[in-house]
Amino acid sequence: MQSTNSIPENILKIQKKLCTFDKGSRNYKKYSKILQKHIKKNNMKKRVNSNIKTIEAIAKISSQKN
């Protein structure tokens, strides 16, 4: 189980591949776009998980009051 702050393996793999290309090359641009998509997906997943935990905490607190 990975910790919540660690960078996913797929993003690290893309970054390692990206650093082998010359900046401005066709492959560099291609892998930059792929990296952006993976980072965006990872951030959205974290946000959704955070929102779910918040909703669960609120539900737990409200059930304890009743």
Which helix (H) or strand (E) covers residue 41, if one does?
helix 26-65
CA-wise closest residue to 43 among 7, 18, 13? 7
CA-wise closest residue to 18 among 38, 33, 32? 32
Domain boundaries, the chain: 10-65
Q: Are 42 and 10 spatial neighbours (Cβ–Cβ below 8 Å)?
A: no
Per-residue pLDDT, 53: 95
- Residue-wise pLDDT for 21-61, tens only, equals 999 999 999 999 999 999 999 999 999 999 999 999 999 99
Sign (positive or negative) of CA dihedral 59, 2, 7, 37? negative
CA 13/CA 10 separation, integer angstroms: 5
